[in-house]
Amino acid sequence: MKSKNEILSIVLLLIVMILSVASLTYMVVTKGSLILIVLLGLLFVVSVYRLFYVYNARNRKLSIFFDAIRNEDSSLVFPEKVGSPSLRHLHVSLNKLNRLIADIKLRNERNELFYCELIEQSATGLLSFDELGYIDVMNSAAKRYLGVIQLSNLKLLEQMNPELHQILTQLKTGEKTVVKNMVGNELVSLSVQGSDMQFGNQRHRLISLQDIRYELEESEIDSWQKLIRVMTHEIMNSIAPITSLSHTLLHFFQKQGKTIDPIQLNSSIIADTIEGLNIIEERGKGLIHFVDNYRKLAKVPQPIFSTLNVKTWVQGMTLLFKPTMEQHGIRFSTSLSKGIDLIQTDEKLLDQLMINLMTNAIEAVCSNPERDVPSIGLSVRKSSANTLLLELSDNGPGIDESLMDKIFVPFFTTKEGGNGIGLSLSRQLASKLNMKLSVRSKPSQGSTFQLEL
């Protein structure tokens, strides 16, 4: 609503315009003075201009205000002591809005400084770049892990480290991988994870880089300690009786440090000696077998990836184990979800891996007399994350919770006569095939071994 002053100004201007038009018309009709006609014309033009100026005064104020906001200028202040109440109210409202915008701007600047400092002080390397490779954010940790002082575009990294550049640009959202990179004179293991963000029409990628060499070293030391404990146990189990038996046999032929006369040997001593030597030979062969199994673990071949028809492969596994299943009265079932046709893998290594797991499942269900019908199921399906899952389930006795972290340790076994390399070798094969092998199990409820690709 316009103020009284504005309305009065408009009315006066309209009166001036009407009078100037009437006078101008009269002077033209009566052929009055040319100078007076020109002055009346100018008066009319000025009156029209002033009329529009007064009428658009508020629009100009709003235009100036929005221009100031667009230019991030919060210093604009409108006078609040004016005669017009409506104009005063407009000025007060604009000033309040301007102060509010200034407060929000200040708060955002504080938050930005806080988050920038937080990112900079983070021990995790953080890197953000757009579709063209231009870097938005890069903290000191990321520079250190990438071995650069400054980086404006990832194309520069491509020239220095093509492999690392390929990993950063082709890493899928949510995917995590481990890469090794030289940082100064040290080789570090970096856990790299990426995620994509969309801002309007632009897509940005956020990469996190975390040094996990200490975690890997601790895990490696723990694995070595477990391996050494198992190997020590197995070797001592063989060496101790061999040493004791050798000492006993030595006393048959030596008394007080002197070799006895062959005439003193009797058939009983000879029989005991032969039996003892047979035992020593048997335990020696056991040690050779143990070392040979260890060598198998150390010589897992590199995979040769090719296209595999999943349905054909499942049918092949079924035919391979059908006689064994029938022999032990095991109910075997398979399940293949729709839409799963071809995968890239090494068929021979996958076969070896599945044979190990299947053999383990057969032994499990056969060792569980509580089950009326031993059963094993093989299923192939897609997970919620769109990864391929191969699951082998059995209704065997299950695995005790205290043993879950030991079953993949080389040479660890709870089976009588077992060598303890089946599951350890299976995990190595899974790793070679870019798969993750895990297990779910409860005592007396069976186990499920899962391969995720």
**Structure pTM?**
0.44
CB 308 within 8 A of CB 345: yes
Looking at residue 18, what is its pLDDT?
72
Q: Give, rounded to a whole angstrom, the gap between the first and last alpha carbons of the chain.
A: 70
Looking at residue 2, what is its pLDDT?
47
User: How many angstroms separate the CA atoms of 60 and 278, rounded?
Assistant: 110
Q: Structure tokens of 202? A: 């632009």
| Fold designation for 306-452 | Heat Shock Protein 90 (3.30.565)
Amino acid at 337: S
Looking at residue 336, what is its pLDDT?
86
CA Rg value for the chain: 44
Looking at residue 444, what is its pLDDT?
78
User: How many angstroms separate the CA atoms of 442 and 438, rounded?
Assistant: 14
Neighbours of 451 (CB within 10 A): 22
Looking at residue 93, what is its pLDDT?
79
Per DSSP, the three-state class of 325 is helix
Q: Where are the alpha helices (DSSP H) in 213-266?
A: 213-253
Burial label, 145 (beta-carbon count in 10 A; 0-12, 13-18, 19+): buried
Contacts 24+ apart (CB under 8 A), 166-174: 167/192, 168/127, 168/192, 168/194, 168/205, 168/207, 169/133, 169/205, 171/207, 174/385
Looking at residue 154, what is its pLDDT?
85
Looking at residue 411, what is its pLDDT?
60
Looking at residue 201, what is its pLDDT?
82
Phi, psi of 260 (to 5 degrees): -80, 160
In tens digits, the chain (453 residues) has pLDDT values of 444 555 566 667 667 667 777 776 777 777 767 777 777 777 777 776 666 665 566 666 767 777 777 777 777 777 777 656 666 777 777 778 878 888 888 888 888 888 888 888 888 888 888 888 888 888 888 888 888 888 888 888 888 888 888 888 888 887 888 887 777 656 677 888 888 888 778 888 888 888 877 666 566 556 666 666 666 766 666 676 677 777 777 777 777 677 777 776 677 777 777 777 777 777 777 677 666 666 665 566 778 888 888 888 888 888 777 878 888 888 888 888 888 888 888 888 888 888 888 888 888 888 776 667 888 888 888 887 778 888 988 888 888 776 776 777 666 666 655 555 667 778 878 888 888 888 888 887 888 888 887
Looking at residue 99, what is its pLDDT?
82
122-211: which CATH number, 3.30.70.141, 3.40.50.300, 3.30.450.20, 1.20.120.450?
3.30.450.20
Looking at residue 7, what is its pLDDT?
58
User: How many angstroms separate the CA atoms of 61 and 84, rounded?
Assistant: 15
